[in-house]
Chain A
Amino acid sequence: MHIILQTTKGEMQLDEVSLKEKNIQFESYETSSWDGEIIINYLIPLSNAIIGALTTIIIQSIRARKHIKIINNGVEIHGVSERNIKNILETINSNKGKDEPK
């Protein structure tokens, strides 16, 4: 099970340093498409061990008003807040294998 942290390249992007500092494994994919924006996608294997660190990074990003989206199985997770993010990540992790793309 993976999740993607997606950020728009620019001043308000989520920097990969934050992920490295927390020892979170990831692959980074920089993509561009018709609208001209450059998007950075951090593909992260989700596990119990990283949920705490990941929650911290997402909360910090929300507070810093950084442009991030959290994507799981091609679907954005809507309504993420400081209060519910940990629960959401745990729910996704506990559903491992159920809805994963074949």
Chain B
Amino acid sequence: MNQNKYILFITGSILHVHDKINKNEFCSRYPREPHCDLRLYIQNSRLEKHSRLLNYEYYNVIFYYIEKILLKYKINTTFYTTYSLNRKNETLEINGNKYVIYDQYLGKSFNLFNKAFLQIKDSEILDNYCIRYLVESFRIMGMSIEASIFYSIGLQTNAFEKLNLAYSTKSECTAYTFIQETFIILHEIAHIIIKQNPRLISYKKREIDQYIDKQPFSLFNNLDKADKLIGNFNLDEFRRKNLIEEIICDYIATKYTFELFFNNELLTAEEFAEAIYLGLRTMRSINLLNGIISTYVKRPNERKSHNLSQLFRESSIRYWLIKDSIRSQYRSKYKTKFKEDPLHNLLLKDMHDYDSFYETPFLNVQTILKKLSATLKKHNSLKNIPFSQQISVLNEIDHMLGWR
């Protein structure tokens, strides 16, 4: 990857966009402080960190370009960046106005995963990430015992220190992170576009339905360690509808990310595909963790992809369809075909190389939580800790981790 050239390209975009934003009415579309109702909602629904950590300039570039796309659909959206333990990108509507809230902590996760895999090449970083993720998840779930246990583990193993070191290592993967964040925001935007243009679903539905039924990629499933866990893949009507909408949002997000930021001189199509693919891998790993934690707190949701085999199969379908989407985008832009399919080869390679990296640390969490659950069951007294005591323990963890 020609990282330096791509960074110059991003920097150029930042300067260009900020020149435009400062000169015109776009300023109000990227508020540093959201209006009262939105502020109240964010403050109460998320555990935020200091706003001084927010990199407005960087995200405004992404928002600026996305806004241009939205004009085509006559959709008005206000973008807002936050930094919270929730690591959640969300869309909402208040009094008919649409908002996108992007969580910079999610972007930080993308960058970390990219660095761990492509640059530092050390899967221990993800083990440490999992420990911190567990502390923070149990913290926002108000589960003081679990948060304290994983906080102690983090201290004893130096996980936080090692993780901070990885976070602070200069990234050589900024281009990938930039593409991934754009893709993820566009994916959410795509849901808004689809809501206003439902025919976008019917346009592709038949083709995707056939793909889901035949699963032509299954030939390669034996290469995917994750697929060994797969049992029956039964999609009920709700799940199928949901999966099809997600796939169409992936198509839309890929199309526009490609149009905005793919430049043949800076990135090859394979690198572009790899960036998006790794972004989806990161999201799948985070979803996997959430699913494992939900199961631990006995809130498994059958309708969501918290069922692991379901999650693996659904994401495999999405990966392969994204590959097809990138291939057709590339073909139409450059009027050339790949001699052989390099994206195909990339995905095959990925299945070998990425699984142990992106899945093992997360599946280990499942084992740890199962053991913890069995241990805590034996101690009934732990169930009756008064609310005020729990809050005080959680506040202490916040201070020690530097939140609030």
B309 at the A interface (CB under 8 A): no
**In the assembly, what is the distance between CA of A72 and CA of B84, in Å?**
15
Which one of A35, A87, A101 lies within 8 Å of B44 (CB-CB)?
Answer: A101
Contact between B89 and A78, CB atoms less than 8 A apart: no
Q: Which residues of chain A have C-beta atoms less than 8 A from B90's C-beta?
A: 31-33
Nearest CB in chain B: distance from A52 CB, A: 18
A37 at the B interface (CB under 8 A): yes
Nearest CB in chain B: distance from A30 CB, A: 6
Nearest CB in chain B: distance from A99 CB, A: 8
* A79 and B84 contact, Cβ closer than 8 Å, known pairs A36-B245, A36-B304: no
Nearest CB in chain B: distance from A77 CB, A: 5
B374 at the A interface (CB under 8 A): no
Which one of A3, A27, A74 lies within 8 Å of B46 (CB-CB)?
Answer: A74
Q: Which residues of chain B have C-beta atoms less than 8 A from A8's C-beta?
A: 301
**B-side interface mostly:** helix
**In the assembly, what is the distance between CA of A95 and CA of B395, in Å?**
14
Interface residues of B in 281-308 (CB under 8 A from A): 283, 287, 290, 301, 303-305
Interface residues of A in 67-101 (CB under 8 A from B): 71-79, 84, 87-88, 91, 99, 101
Nearest CB in chain B: distance from A86 CB, A: 11
Which one of B45, B92, B287, B395 lies within 8 Å of A35 (CB-CB)?
Answer: B287
How many residues does chain B have at the interface if contact means C-beta atoms less than 8 Å apart? 47
A4 at the B interface (CB under 8 A): yes
Which one of B44, B89, B142 lies within 8 Å of A77 (CB-CB)?
Answer: B142
**In the assembly, what is the distance between CA of A36 and CA of B46, in Å?**
19
Q: Which residues of chain B have C-beta atoms less than 8 A from A43's C-beta?
A: 40-41, 44
Of B45, B89, B94, B388, most A-chain CB atoms within 10 Å: B45
Q: Which residues of chain B have C-beta atoms less than 8 A from A41's C-beta?
A: 41, 45
Q: Which residues of chain B have C-beta atoms less than 8 A from A30's C-beta?
A: 92-93
**In the assembly, what is the distance between CA of A71 and CA of B139, in Å?**
12
* A75 and B142 contact, Cβ closer than 8 Å, known pairs A41-B41, A101-B43: yes
Q: Which residues of chain B have C-beta atoms less than 8 A from A99's C-beta?
A: 391, 395
Nearest CB in chain B: distance from A50 CB, A: 16
Q: Which residues of chain B have C-beta atoms less than 8 A from A72's C-beta?
A: 44
B184 at the A interface (CB under 8 A): yes
Contact between A71 and B287, CB atoms less than 8 A apart: no
B387 at the A interface (CB under 8 A): yes
Nearest CB in chain A: distance from B49 CB, A: 11
Q: Which residue of B lies closest to A35 (CB)?
A: B304
Residue-by-residue, is B32-67 near A (CB-CB < 8 Å gives 1, otherwise 0)? 000001001101111110000000000000000000
Q: Which residues of chain B have C-beta atoms less than 8 A from A2's C-beta?
A: 40, 44
B70 at the A interface (CB under 8 A): no
Residue-by-residue, is B188-207 near A (CB-CB < 8 Å gives 1, otherwise 0)? 10010000000000000000
Contact between A87 and B43, CB atoms less than 8 A apart: no
Contact between B142 and A35, CB atoms less than 8 A apart: no
**In the assembly, what is the distance between CA of A74 and CA of B90, in Å?**
15
Which one of B37, B91, B290, B385 lies within 8 Å of A31 (CB-CB)?
Answer: B91
Nearest CB in chain A: distance from B254 CB, A: 15
Contact between B184 and A34, CB atoms less than 8 A apart: yes
Chain A to chain B contacts (Cβ below 8 Å), 23 pairs: A29-B92, A29-B94, A30-B93, A31-B91, A31-B92, A32-B91, A33-B91, A33-B188, A34-B89, A37-B304, A73-B43, A74-B43, A74-B44, A74-B86, A75-B140, A75-B141, A76-B140, A78-B143, A78-B390, A79-B383, A87-B387, A88-B387, A99-B391
**Other A-B pairs beyond A34-B88, A34-B283, 5, CB < 8 Å:** A34-B184, A34-B188, A35-B305, A36-B245, A78-B144
Q: Which residues of B contact A (CB under 8 A)?
A: 37, 40-41, 43-48, 84-86, 88-94, 139-144, 184, 187-188, 191, 242, 245-246, 283, 287, 290, 301, 303-305, 383, 385, 387-388, 390-391, 394-395
6 pairs of A and B residues whose beta carbons are closest in the complex? A78-B142, A74-B47, A101-B43, A31-B92, A33-B90, A76-B142
